[in-house]
Amino acid sequence: MKSPQACQGMEEIRKEVNEVDHEIIRLLGLRLQYVHAAVAYKPDEESIRRPDHWERFFAARRTWAEEAGYPAGVIEAMYRTLYDYTIETQLALHARKPR
């Protein structure tokens, strides 16, 4: 992968951005596997929802974004979307767990 400064025109920049996006999506898929695996260790819906955990979770991501020089609000919005999907997915998987 080329650095942004090494790109010589929009075609190369788009190619590199596409490669980065592909890797981000691959990593999100890996993250989803962990989301699925976590359901086995969550005995009830309350253990999935845990608002106290999620507020710390979002705060950490905001801090990481700020440390990286990236707009914390953008990262938090992205993770809040992931949060909604995570909760929805885990609740659905939990409902299908054998009792």
Spell out the per-residue pLDDT of the chain, length 99, in tens. Answer: 899 999 999 999 999 999 999 999 999 999 999 999 999 999 999 999 998 999 999 999 999 999 999 999 999 999 999 999 999 999 999 999 887
From CA 24, how far away is CA 17, in angstroms rounded?
10
pTM: 0.84
Q: What is the largest CA-CA distance in the chain?
A: 59
**Burial of 72 (C-beta count, 10 Å sphere; 0-12/13-18/19+):** middle
Instruction: Give the per-residue pLDDT at 17.
Output: 98
**pLDDT of 58:** 96
pLDDT at site 97: 87
pLDDT for res 99: 74
Q: How far apart are the C-alpha atoms of 61 and 70, rounded to whole Å?
A: 11
Q: Note the pLDDT of residue 63.
A: 98
Considering the four listed CATH numbers 3.60.15.10, 1.20.59.10, 1.10.3720.10, 3.40.50.720, the one that applies to the domain covering 8-95 is: 1.20.59.10
Q: What pLDDT score does 13 carry?
A: 96
